[in-house]
């Protein structure tokens, strides 16, 4: 994948120097509040390798987010397949994120997600992108709303990957962004 540049960020594939940050965001209690697991370093390293291989093969995935001015990796934002959610159509992509807490509230996720939505609709020629989160994950839901994604309560679901031992994390809300809505939003911003 060729790195994508935004005003403040570089969206790129994972590098060896990112391993410590990748482990930290996958084991941090605040970042992982709405996930049923925390990863050890021994679990994080192969997951980062998996992400890197997916990006190399597909040209997208959960890509590292680097602050251009400092070279510091702060987490990931990207597109991912939804084949693990059996009621969604084949080929559907979700947009998602995971950022270290000290970088929350600075607009980095929105900036990176907007670049990925542009890529999804202009380069990948998708007609729709979805996002989902645990029903009471207000921070992620607020990001979806700031991206002008639309809630679709008819598509809320119990996530199949969440174990029965964590019933409070099973229910997920689903948001959508169609290409038409994305084009409309861009026209309003430009106009």
- Is the pLDDT at 133 greater than 90? The verdict is yes
Residue 185's CB is within 10 A of a number of other CB atoms, namely 15
Instruction: State residue 191's pLDDT score.
Output: 66
Q: What is the pLDDT of residues 105-121, one digit of tens each?
A: 999 999 999 999 999 99
27: left (phi over 0), alpha (psi -120 to 50) or beta: alpha
**The domain containing residue 136 runs over which residues?**
4-190
What are the residue ranges of helices labelled H in 73-150? 108-118, 138-146
How far is Cα 152 from Cα 141, in angstroms, rounded to an integer?
Answer: 12
Token digits for 35?
């996930």
Q: What is the pLDDT of residues 162-191, one digit of tens each?
A: 999 999 999 999 999 999 999 998 887 776
Q: What is the pLDDT of residues 67-107, one digit of tens each?
A: 999 999 999 999 999 998 989 999 999 999 999 999 999 99
Q: Is the dihedral of CA 46, 111, 99, 10 positive or negative?
A: positive
How far is Cα 96 from Cα 116, in angstroms, rounded to an integer?
Answer: 10
Q: What is the CATH number of the domain that holds 183?
A: 3.40.630.30
Query: 93, 129, 91, 97: which is closest to 113 by C-alpha?
Result: 97
Mean pLDDT estimate for the chain: 96
Q: What percentage of residues in the chain have a pLDDT greater than 90?
A: 94
Q: What is the DSSP letter of 85?
A: S
Query: 84, 87, 86: which is closest to 96 by C-alpha?
Result: 84
What are residue 13's phi and psi, to 5 degrees? -75, 160
How far is Cα 60 from Cα 121, in angstroms, rounded to an integer?
Answer: 13
Instruction: State residue 190's pLDDT score.
Output: 74
Token digits for 71?
């070279």
Residue 17's CB is within 10 A of a number of other CB atoms, namely 11
- Is the pLDDT at 155 greater than 90? The verdict is yes
Q: Are 131 and 97 in contact (CB under 8 A)?
A: no
Token digits for 140?
């992620």
- Is the pLDDT at 14 greater than 70? The verdict is yes
- Span of 13-17, 69-73, 85-89, 130-134 with lowest mean pLDDT: 85-89
Query: pTM, whole model, 2 decimals?
Result: 0.95
Overall domain count for the chain: 1
């Amino acid at each position: 994948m060729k790195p994508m540049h935004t005003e403040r960020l570089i969206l790129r594939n994972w590098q060896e120097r990112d391993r410590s940050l990748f482990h930290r965001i996958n084991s941090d209690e605040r970042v992982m509040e709405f996930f049923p697991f925390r990863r050890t370093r021994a679990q994080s390293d192969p997951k980062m390798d998996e992400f890197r291989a997916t990006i190399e093969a597909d040209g997208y995935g959960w890509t590292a987010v680097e602050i251009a001015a400092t070279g510091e990796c702060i987490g990931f934002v990207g597109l991912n397949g939804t084949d693990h959610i059996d009621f969604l159509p084949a080929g559907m992509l979700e947009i998602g994120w995971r950022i270290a807490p000290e970088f929350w509230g600075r607009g980095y996720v929105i900036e990176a997600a907007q670049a990925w939505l542009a890529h999804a609709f202009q380069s990948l020629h998708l007609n729709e992108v979805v996002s989902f989160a645990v029903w009471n994950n207000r921070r992620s839901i607020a990001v979806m709303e700031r991206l002008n994604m639309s809630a679709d309560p008819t598509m809320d679901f119990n996530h199949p990957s969440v174990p029965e031992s964590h019933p409070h994390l099973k229910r997920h809300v689903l948001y959508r962004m169609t290409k038409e809505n994305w084009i409309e939003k861009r026209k309003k911003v430009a106009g």
